[in-house]
Structures are given as structure tokens and as C-alpha cells.
Structure 1
Amino acid sequence: MAWLPTLIKACYFVAALLFILGLKRMSSPRTARGGIVWAGFGMLLAVLATFFLPDMHNRGLIIAAVLIGVAAAWWSGRRVAMTAMPQMVALYNGMGGGAAAAIGAVELIGYARGLGLLHAVPDTSPLRPEAWAVNGLPPALSPTELALGVLGALIGAVSFSGSLVAFAKLQGWMDKRFVFPGQRTVNLLLLAAAVVAGVLLATSHASAALIVAFFALALLFGLMMTLPIGGADMPVVISLYNAFTGLAVSFEGFVLGNEAMIIAGMVVGAAGTLLTQLMAKAMNRSIGNVLFGSFGAAGGEAQAIEGAQKPVDASDAAVMMAYAERVVIVPGYGLAVAQAQHKVWEFAQLLIKRGVKVKFAIHPVAGRMPGHMNVLLAEAGVPYDLIADMDDINPEFPATDVALVIGANDVVNPLAKTDPASPIYGMPILDVSAAKHVIVIKRGKGTGFAGIENALFYADNTRMLYGDGQAAVGELVASLKEIDA
């Protein structure tokens, strides 16, 4: 069947188009669901085409692995709560990086065996479509393939171990930040050692000990790079490791000569890189600081916050918003924890029926991953034209009668603009404090995920409505219905 390779490449081309079109549709909340479906069909087509590659080995094992992976993903996808979605994304992203690193490991072991440095290695590989040569040795890797294989393995290993740490932090299994003196220097030395080991591997010095040392250093660097990162910076970390995984997959695709891996990896890598830049800008951090800085490290003694938090009853808060002209609702991770998005939209609909102009304000890094709040509001059925980004909504806060903050903390903290010693100083925030009145729904008086006290809660125009997010909004709904009765 001489036409089979051409058909496989055509399937890869169609799959690549579906990846790109799917990603394009994901750029808008209105078409994101369809984009995911398109990209999913592209992946299915690429996987099916791969099974027909000439001389493909171990199909039974591959099918078994695919079935296990699909079953695990289906089960977890249906059972994991929306609040746990960020750590699931981090975990799945780490699996992608680990897969790319595993491909690099197999290729490096085969390369070392071809040099006569290793012997107890199987004579077949399911990864390279051209299979092994007749004499039992793997096909020779060109210098470019070898360099890309090493680079992909390095990036994939870093993404794997770093994503596991991010998962553990988000899951609450690990302290949010872990720092020690000289940590940045240690990290740079680990990276330098991993790069040196990689250069040696790429220049015909492959050996079992060197391969093990290379992966050990790469995995350790991923761990050490992520340990000092605070919880407030997790959106940046997730998007960064997403870019890493895409690049790693693309590089390994070059080694395997697999067009689908090359294109899919490049698309994911490019999208992840752009998203990381946007997230870093939203956090007022450079990419270099994301890679090597100790996130959230304060530069001095923080300013003392004067005043006291002033509570308000749900009935009084409902009256304030019922007779307001403009209300802006600011959701945060606390809304996700309380699963209050449906109640919030019910409350917003009641206000709109009264003639109140209602908008939802979204900070780029609100929640635990990019787009977290947008997903929650879309799940509740909030129309997209009522959702405004930070840059669009900030000029409207001075003309806003009431800003209702639900579970948000660091993204509305005025210290980001007033306190140079604050860990979040310089981070663009939602200018909620500029509204005429601010109502904050919060479970208690504790600090946010970054562990920073919020000056907004002590401002003269702020009132605190304490309680679970869903219960508190439910009280607002009940009070508003009583006014309309």
C-alpha cells in the first residue's frame, strides 16, 4: 500500500488544521466549547492515523495505555469539582511534559546503544516509524535531531516535575512557598548542570550514567524552580508549564518525524508563551522573574493598615444595590469555592429587572488558572456582553454606585498601588476602591491566597458581609425579593 504514508500525512495535515481552528475558536467564550470539540476531533484523527504507521510495534500495549488514559480522564473530568480544575489542569499538563521527556529518554537510550555504550535495550521501538535497522541498531540520529531530542527531554522533564509541585500546592498538600538563602543561585547552578549534561549527550558522549544524571538534574530543577512560587502566582506558572509542554512535544516530534506532534506542540507552545506573557504583565512581572525569581517576596516592611472592618447586614446591602444606578460584581476564587455563580447570576437578574445596570469585572489572574472566572460565569449562563475585562471596566468604577466583591482578595487590593514593600506592589488591579460604595462578601477576616492583608476591607467606603459566598448571596436574593414584593 504505497498510498498509505501519503494518507497518514494527509490525516496529520487535517488534524493540524483542526488544532489551529479549534484554538482560534477558543479565543472567544462564545465559540470556546466548539473549539474544544474541533481540537478533540483533530487529536482523535491524529491518534488513529498513527496506528497505521509502517512497522508500528506494540499496538496492543499502546491501545491498552490509551484505554486506561481515556478511562481515567473521563472519570476525573466528570467527578472533579470546578474548584479543583486548576490542579487537574496542572496535573494533566505535567503528564504531557512527562510523555515528551519519556520519548526523549527512549531515543537517547537507543542512541547510546547504537554507540555500543548500552546493551540491555529492546531491539524494537514503537516510537520511530522507520523502526530499527536490520542489524538491531536504532536508525542514526542527525546532530539536529539529537540536539532537539535533548532539548525536548530537558523542557519536558522540567514541566513534569514543576507541574507536579504546582498540583501539590493547589491541592493543599504542600506549603504555598518554600524559600531558603541562596535559592536562586542553587537553581541557576542546577539549570547550568542540566544544560552541560545535555550538551555532552548531544555531542556523542551518551552513557547510562550521563543519561540518568541529565534527567535527575532536569527533574530536580523543575522542583526547585516551582517550590518558591506563591499561590497568587499560580496562573502564571500553569500557563508557563503549558508552554513548556508544547515546546517539548514539538521538539520530540522533530526527532520522530511526526508532523502532528510538531504542529500541535508548536501551537500549544506558542499559545502558552503568549498567555504567559499576558499573565506576567497582569502580575507586573517579567518572564525572567517568572523563571528565576522568588515570587511574592516582599522588598521591605509593609505599611500598617489603619481602621477596622465594618460589617453590614444582607438586607442593608440589598437595599443599597436595589436603588443603585450601576453595580459592578467582582468574582474571585471564593465564589468558586462556594459554588455561588448561579446564585450571583440570579441576584444580578433581579437587579437588572429593577433597571440597575449590572456588569461583571474579571481580573486576568482571578482564580487559580487563566480564565477561571470566565468559565464559572459561563457555566451559570451570564451573557458575555455583561462580562468586562480589567482594562475596560477600571475607568467605570468612579461612576459605579456599588461594587460587590465576592471572594476576591489580592486582585482588588489597593496596596498594589500604594505600598512599595508589598509583595504585589505594581500588579495591575481592579480599581474597586474607586467605587462610591464597596460590599465585600468574605467567609472571615483572614488574608487571601497570597497571605497579604487587604487595605480595601478597611476603607471608609467598604462594608463587609461575612459568610459563605452562596449563603450570603442567597440572603441578598431573599432581601431583594422582599423589596420587590
Structure 2
Amino acid sequence: MNILLSIIYLISTITFIVGLKKLGHPETAKSGNLIASVGMGLAIVGTIFINDIEVPIIIYVLIGVAITIGSIMGWLIAMKVEMTKMPELVSLFNGFGGASAALIGVVEFIGNDNISGTKATMVATILSAVAIGSITFSGSLVAWGKLNGSLKSVIKIPQYNIINNLFVIAIISFSAYIVMSGSDSQLFLYGLLGLGIVYGVLFVLPIGGADMPVVISLLNSLTGIAAAITGVLYDNMVMLVGGILVGSAGIILTISMCKAMNRTLGSVIFGSFGATAVAEEGINKSLGTIKKTTSSDAAIMMNYATNVIIVPGYGLAVAQAQHVIHELEELLVSKGVNVKYAIHPVAGRMPGHMNVLLAESNVDYSILSEMDDINPQFANADVVLVVGANDVVNPAAHNDPASPIYGMPILDVEKAKHIVVNKRSMKAGYAGIENELFYNSKTSMLFGDAKEALTELVGELKGM
């Protein structure tokens, strides 16, 4: 390999690592993203113009046109997308990454004039790119459809656990047969591609929208693995390292998300993931009575509080109330109230969704607290305001061994002195069960659209 190109790849690899490190904190995330982007730009330019291969001018023209069109489209989409739509954008872009890996595998298989004479390990690598890339592509598109409302949140498939597992076995077995037989049949290749696409759809279809943080994290990881495989195909170190970084980071994040959802990685991959227990209609467990409140009463509680903790959930994003809640927070701080936000790892529709949403409204990063840090502080909170969150604050995770969320780490909201919960209705969360918190004697329910309710709350506070 050209020495200059090797140096460029080394620099790019370092920028990826530094960028990934900076992405670990909101204050440095923007600079980390820019650093990694510069590194990727260097790698692309180096790969195109510094190589030992004679390339016709027309190829350079086509590459330039493709990069220009892609850059303009990406820039326009990124500039116009709303923060509430960020999960859909992540899923869509991730799907295109998987499609790229699958297409590279297809091209390598078809373009190899002596596939039967190619080492089995290389053929296996090509087929892995096709299979993983196609699964990621179709799965990400289904996730995108669920998140933007084009598809139903949960589409039940009879015996889908068995069907999905059979598809996994079929993909592995079919790939092994192609490798061992040395077949160069394009029909087999397209058959494997089709199996991957169908499995990606079946894998995500039964999963509810509330479970999407884990799904998106896992699909991102698969895209990274697919990118690493293409790096092996082209003996390209920067693709390999970049793919490994994305894949490993995605797996670590997926495992963290699984723990936060009280699931195992095995249950995510092999079937029980997304299966939720639906509460039986008409059964009242006599948890207690619901106590309603008004914006005026909630404002009085907060006005005379010393410590207030805000718990944002997906309902906040749906109502696009991030700017109003920031206004509420600033108003409380101006009155001498100590305000913090409690962020659950799986609140929202993608990892870090609440952090991104609140960042859009310029909430100070220093008052965003992760679950493990904020839980000990709930006992000292005078008022906790829960906006659009449900299962992540349900005490049944601690109190009811029969509950489907038993053992799931939650925010210990029930320990606060007073609790105000804003919801549109008493509709259950993704687990389909009653929330014990809503019946707590310390809880007051503030029903209504989050944006409207918070706006009224701000108005009441301003008048005090």
C-alpha cells in the first residue's frame, strides 16, 4: 500500500477514536463529530486519489457526482429534520449503511470470475456482508416506518419466535452450503439476499415502538460489523477499524439498553424481545384511587419547593414540549428552586433521545442526571414532575415479582415528597400494565397534552 495513504489512514483512525471518545459527553459531542467527519473526509480523498490502481477519468467523474449528490441530500435532510424526528433519521441512514454493505458483497461475488477457486474464508466474508447488510437494511426501514407512524407500533405474527429462529438457521445453513460447495450461482446469492431482507422485516415487525432504543442500537451495531466486513474484502484498514469501533460501541450500548429494559441480549436476538404482557381488560387490581390536579395547584407546589426533579419521557417528544419545559425550568430557577432532569437510559425512541431533545431547547448539560446518579436524590425532592414517562417510573419493577417489568431498573420517583404526573390519559405503557405510581397517595395526575399543560403551568407560575 502507498506509504502516504497508510499515513492518511492512520490519521483517520486516530480521529475516529478521538471523535468517539468526545461523543461520550454532550459538551464535547459536537467537536467529536466534526473531528471524526474530517478523518472520514481524509480517508475518502486518500482512497480516491492516492492509490496504485489506474482508474479511468469517467470513474472519477461518477464518484464526484455521487459524493456531491449524497452530500447535498444529507445536508438538506439534516438541516430540515426536527429533533423529534431524529430517531427516524438515524434508522433511515443506518439502513442505507446496511444496504451499501450488502451491495458491496453482491458486487464482489458477481465480479469474481473464479469464485469457486476463492478461499472459503473470503467467500464466507462476502456472504456475511450480504446477509448482515440486508438484515440491517430491511430492519432499519421497518423501524423507520414504525417511528414515523407509517406502520403500526406492533404487528403480531403467529409463532413469530419460531419463524424468526428458523430464518436465522436458514441463513446460516444456506451461507455454509454456498461456501462449502464452492457454488458461483447468482441465484443462490440473490436467495441469500432475499432471506436477509425478509428476516430483517420479520425481526422488527412484532417489536413495539417503546422498545426501539434497543432495536436501533442493535441495528447500528450490525451496520458497523457489516462495514468492518467490507474493510476485510478490500483490505482497507480504515474501513475495518471504523466498522469495529461502530460495531463494538453498538454492542456495548445494546447490552446497556438491555439491562435498562430488564432483558438479555439472547432474548433480543432469539425471539422473546418485544413480547409484552397485555393487561386483562376489566380487571382492577384495586391499586387505589387516582387523584387529579390542576395547573394552578401544581404551580403552587413547585413555587414553594426547594428541590424539583423533572422526568421527561416520549410524551414530551410527541407533544414537542421541550422548549416549554425549559422555560418552566428557567422560571423555577429564577425563583430560587434547584431543578434537575432525571434521564432514564431507554426514555424515548433511541439511545440518548431525551438528551438530544433537551439539548435542542438549550437545557444546561450540567443539570441532566443519569439514572444511577439521580436515584439517591429523589428522597430529597419536594416535587417530581413526570412528563410523558410511564414504565420507567413504575414501582412494580421493584414491588411485583409477577410483573413483566419486575427487575427492570427504574427511576425511584416514588420516594419523592410530592409527585405530579402529566399524561394524556391512563393508557398503559409498552408493558401493557397498570402503573402503581399513578395510584400513590403522593401522586397527582395532570391530564392533557404536555405542551398545553406545561404552558398553563408556566402561566400560573408567572402570576405568583
- Equivalence for 1:94: 95
Instruction: Report if the CA contact (8 A) 1:296-1:423 is conserved.
Output: no
Q: Which amino acid in structure 1 is aligned with residue 409 of structure 2?
A: P
The 5 A counterparts of 1:203-242 are 203=180, 204-242=182-220
Question: What are the Cα deviations for residues 378-423 of structure 1, in whole angstroms up to 9, with x where unaligned?
Answer: 2222222211111111122122111001121221122333344544
Instruction: Report if the CA contact (8 A) 1:328-1:360 is conserved.
Output: yes
Question: In 2, Cα distance between the equivalents of 1:90 and 1:33?
Answer: 20
- Equivalence for 1:136: none
Instruction: Report if the CA contact (8 A) 1:243-1:268 is conserved.
Output: yes
Q: Which amino acid in structure 2 is aligned with residue 89 of structure 1?
A: V
Q: Secondary structure at the match of 2:318?
A: helix
Q: Secondary structure at the match of 2:139?
A: helix
Shift of 1:446: 3.0
Matching of residue 31 in structure 1 with residue 31 in structure 2? no
Question: In 1, Cα distance between the equivalents of 2:98 and 2:324?
Answer: 38
The 5 A counterparts of 1:138-177 are 141-177=118-154
Instruction: Report if the CA contact (8 A) 1:230-1:450 is conserved.
Output: no
- Equivalence for 1:12: 9
Instruction: Report if the CA contact (8 A) 2:316-2:388 is conserved.
Output: yes
Q: Which amino acid in structure 2 is aligned with residue 114 of structure 1?
A: N
Match of 1:362 among 322, 335, 343: 343
In structure 2, do the counterparts of structure 1 residues 366 and 115 end up closer, same or farther at CA, with 3 Å as the change threshold?
closer
Give the share of equivalent positions with the same residue, in percent.
48
The 5 A counterparts of 1:83-482 are 83-111=84-112, 113-115=113-115, 141-203=118-180, 204-298=182-276, 304-306=284-286, 307-448=288-429, 451-482=432-463
In structure 2, do the counterparts of structure 1 residues 299 and 367 end up closer, same or farther at CA, with 3 Å as the change threshold?
closer
Instruction: Report if the CA contact (8 A) 1:228-1:294 is conserved.
Output: no
Instruction: Report if the CA contact (8 A) 1:179-1:227 is conserved.
Output: yes
Question: What are the Cα deviations for residues 223-256 of structure 1, in whole angstroms up to 9, with x where unaligned?
Answer: 1111121212100000001000001110111111
Q: Secondary structure at the match of 1:106?
A: helix
Once superposed, what is the RMSD of the aligned Cα atoms?
2.0
Shift of 1:314: 1.0
Query: What's the TM-score, normalizing by structure 2?
Result: 0.93
Shift of 1:452: 4.2
Instruction: Report if the CA contact (8 A) 2:396-2:406 is conserved.
Output: yes
Shift of 1:8: 1.9
Q: Secondary structure at the match of 2:345?
A: coil
Question: In 1, Cα distance between the equivalents of 2:142 and 2:127?
Answer: 23
Q: Secondary structure at the match of 1:440?
A: strand
Q: Which amino acid in structure 1 is aligned with residue 82 of structure 2?
A: A
Question: What are the Cα deviations for residues 194-236 of structure 1, in whole angstroms up to 9, with x where unaligned?
Answer: 1122112323123122111111111111111111212121000
Instruction: Report if the CA contact (8 A) 2:423-2:445 is conserved.
Output: yes
Question: What are the Cα deviations for residues 79-112 of structure 1, in whole angstroms up to 9, with x where unaligned?
Answer: 221111101101111110110011011111123x
**Does 266-275 or 463-472 show the bigger shift?**
463-472
Q: Secondary structure at the match of 1:361?
A: strand
Question: In 2, Cα distance between the equivalents of 1:200 and 1:341?
Answer: 53
The 5 A counterparts of 1:38-77 are 38-52=35-49, 53=51, 54-56=53-55, 58-77=59-78
Question: What are the Cα deviations for residues 424-459 of structure 1, in whole angstroms up to 9, with x where unaligned?
Answer: 333211111221211112233433355544332232
- Equivalence for 1:132: none
Q: Which amino acid in structure 1 is aligned with residue 36 of structure 2?
A: A
Q: Which amino acid in structure 2 is aligned with residue 340 of structure 1?
A: A
Q: Secondary structure at the match of 2:105?
A: helix
**Does 284-293 or 145-154 show the bigger shift?**
145-154
Question: In 2, Cα distance between the equivalents of 1:230 and 1:421?
Answer: 21
Q: Structure 2: where are the runs of 5+ without partners? A: none
- Equivalence for 1:131: none
Question: What are the Cα deviations for residues 62-82 of structure 1, in whole angstroms up to 9, with x where unaligned?
Answer: 222222222221121122211
Instruction: Report if the CA contact (8 A) 2:19-2:31 is conserved.
Output: yes
Instruction: Report if the CA contact (8 A) 2:276-2:430 is conserved.
Output: no
In structure 2, do the counterparts of structure 1 residues 304 and 428 end up closer, same or farther at CA, with 3 Å as the change threshold?
farther
Shift of 1:355: 2.5
Question: In 1, Cα distance between the equivalents of 2:78 and 2:285?
Answer: 43
Q: Structure 1: where are the runs of 5+ without partners? A: 117-139
Query: What's the TM-score, normalizing by structure 1?
Result: 0.89
Question: In 1, Cα distance between the equivalents of 2:318 and 2:77?
Answer: 18
Instruction: Report if the CA contact (8 A) 1:432-1:438 is conserved.
Output: yes
Aligned residues: 456
In structure 2, do the counterparts of structure 1 residues 279 and 90 end up closer, same or farther at CA, with 3 Å as the change threshold?
same
